[in-house]
Amino acid sequence: MGKSGQSLAQTVEEFIKISTSISTERDLNRLLNMIVTSARTLTHSEAGRVYVLDNTKRNLLLEVCQNDCIGEQQQCLKNPPLAFGDRQNTNNICVYAAYTGQLIKVSDIYRYSGFDFSDLYEYDQVNRYRTKSLLTVPLRNHEGITIGVLQLLNPRDPDSRKIVAYSDDMDSLVSAFASQAAVSLDNVQLIEKNRYLIEVLDHTNQILEML
């Protein structure tokens, strides 16, 4: 087997291990961190973040923000609203991905004007960082409804360690991972919701028993 064949086999094996791992996690916070960490591992990304649709269905909430170059002290991004009044906020790349269901790659955000990257420019300035290459993919459940957005930054070539653009070869792998991650997230959110409802019901019953 050649080098490319070995690399493909290793990637597939790694993908299976990661998918199995996230599918068995039942803690929401740990799952979200695992999703970002795993996606970064698969794509050799320097940084990554995950947004989750809030209960009002009006905003994307930034839940996890990882960056090897900045660490835990980084100043993270603001939560983008899905719309301003009746106008969809599709100038924001994460919101655009959420609405369209599309995977979007940008090779250099400082040379691309299709989206409003002012929040990323501010993030770079505050954290003394340089975002270059970007990949954004929606997390859609089994009904095709967007429940979150995964964003990856600055992939490094495994050999040279230089920052490169996300290749088209990554699209299928990232899309498959995003689908698996969305299923796991959807399941854990349902478990959390059911647990909350049970707690409310138990509390209500305790009050009724005291009357």
pLDDT tens readout for residues 134-180: 999 999 998 999 999 999 999 999 899 999 999 998 999 999 999 99
Q: How confident is the model at residue 1 (pLDDT cuts 50, 70, 90)?
A: very low
Residue type, 135: L
Does residue 6 have a pLDDT over 50?
no
Percentage above 90 pLDDT, the chain: 69
Contact 46, 70 (CB under 8 A): no
Q: Is 110 helix (H, G, I), strand (E, B) or coil?
A: helix
Contact 115, 91 (CB under 8 A): yes
Q: Which residues contact 28 (CB under 8 A, 6 or more apart)?
A: 188, 189, 192
Helical H runs in the chain? 3-23, 28-43, 93-100, 118-127, 170-210
Distance from C-alpha of 40 to C-alpha of 34, rounded to nearest angstrom: 10
Distance from C-alpha of 75 to C-alpha of 57, rounded to nearest angstrom: 25
Please count the CA atoms within 13 angstroms of the CA of 22 that sit on its side-chain side.
26
Does residue 106 have a pLDDT over 50?
yes
Average pLDDT over the chain, rounded to an integer = 89
Give the torsion through C-alpha atoms of 177, 106, 103, 26, to 10 deg.
Answer: 40
> Residues 18, 21, 23, 28: is their CA dihedral positive or negative?
negative
Residue pointed to by tokens 């009002």: 56
Distance from C-alpha of 17 to C-alpha of 187, rounded to nearest angstrom: 19
Question: Which residue from 172, 129, 177 is spatially nearest to 154, judged by alpha carbons?
Answer: 129
pLDDT of residue 132: 96
Question: Which residue from 166, 155, 139, 141 is spatially nearest to 61, judged by alpha carbons?
Answer: 139
Task: Name the least confident of 1-10, 31-40, 183-192, 200-209.
Answer: 1-10
Q: Is 74 helix (H, G, I), strand (E, B) or coil?
A: coil
Cβ neighbours around 93 below 10 Å, total: 23
Q: How confident is the model at residue 129 (pLDDT cuts 50, 70, 90)?
A: very high
Does residue 5 have a pLDDT over 80?
no
Q: Is 118 helix (H, G, I), strand (E, B) or coil?
A: helix
